[in-house]
């Protein structure tokens, strides 16, 4: 295993990433629970790379050819340097067996909650929704396309909003309006799945600003949403 760790707490981070017995479940996470550990000045979170979809039943945590932990670490480090609001990095680790990579990434745990939980507790917080739009606009101005922009990947911390989970994100030479719209419509879909009113997404767009979007992109995401609801037998508003 190769481990890169922040110098001021390198030993503690390396121990936690190499031995899960030194960590404790965080109760958070998507495909796999995050692991929490104590480090200098706070708490760290370890997210192990795990596959989603049907493929997870065949290869749970293996990736062919691509070192995804290191790729995300490099991108996340770049975003920190540009001033985008993201959690501080603690480290990354990976192992290689032939063409197969496995690994994890560690960040500082943020004192707060994801946007989904925040809106469930504060349904009238329009200011946070508009701030979310401004954060996404900042991300797009930096030419970053987020591959999984959803409510659980936006954190509401004590000092403001932060973006997380850049595993599928890409830094592009330029972002087209269609690519920006795909990110926004992915977020709109997240609002729909959790049964929030359309006004929430409109508040996000108000904070984001003007974006010229082709009608076919909007229609495509609407059709995709309807198909997803039908497959999951999810009622629509």
CATH number at residue 26: 3.30.200
Count of structural domains, the chain: 2
Q: Note whether 135 and 163 are within 8 A (CB).
A: yes
* Any domain includes 237: no
Whole-number Å distance between alpha carbons of 23 and 131: 34
Q: Note whether 90 and 108 are within 8 A (CB).
A: yes
Same domain, 95 and 22: yes
* Any domain includes 186: yes
Same domain, 141 and 197: yes
Whole-number Å distance between alpha carbons of 168 and 203: 26
pTM of the model: 0.87
| φ, ψ at 156 (rounded to 5°) | -105, 100
What does the pLDDT read at residue 28?
65
Rounded mean pLDDT for each run of 10 residues along the chain, 237 residues in total: 94 94 77 80 89 56 86 97 96 93 94 96 96 98 96 95 96 93 93 94 94 72 72 65
Which range of residues forms the domain containing residue 157?
112-232
Angle between helices 177-193 and 215-232 (to 10 degrees): 30
Q: Which residues contact 69 (CB under 8 A, 6 or more apart)?
A: 49, 92, 93, 94, 101, 103, 104, 105
């Amino acid at each position: 295993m190769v481990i890169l760790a922040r110098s001021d707490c390198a030993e503690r981070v390396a121990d936690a990433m190499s031995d899960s017995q030194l960590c404790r479940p965080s109760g958070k996470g998507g495909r796999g629970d995050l692991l929490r550990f104590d480090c200098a000045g706070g708490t760290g979170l370890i997210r192990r790379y795990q596959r989603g979809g049907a493929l997870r039943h065949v290869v749970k945590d293996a990736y062919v050819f691509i070192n995804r932990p290191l790729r995300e670490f490099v991108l996340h480090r770049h975003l920190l340097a540009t001033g985008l609001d993201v959690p501080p990095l603690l480290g990354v680790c990976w192992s290689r067996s032939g063409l197969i990579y496995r690994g994890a990434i560690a960040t500082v745990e943020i004192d707060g909650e994801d946007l989904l939980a925040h809106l469930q507790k504060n349904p009238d917080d329009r200011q946070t929704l508009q701030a979310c739009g401004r954060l996404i606009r900042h991300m797009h101005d930096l030419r970053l396309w987020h591959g999984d922009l959803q409510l659980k990947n936006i954190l509401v911390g004590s000092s403001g909003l932060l973006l997380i989970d850049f595993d599928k994100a890409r830094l592009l030479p330029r972002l087209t309006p269609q690519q920006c719209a795909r990110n926004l419509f992915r977020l709109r879909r997240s609002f729909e799945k959790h049964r929030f009113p359309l006004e929430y997404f409109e508040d996000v767009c108000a904070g984001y600003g003007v974006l010229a979007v082709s009608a076919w992109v909007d229609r495509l995401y609407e059709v995709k949403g309807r198909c997803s609801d039908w497959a999951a037998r999810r009622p629509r508003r």
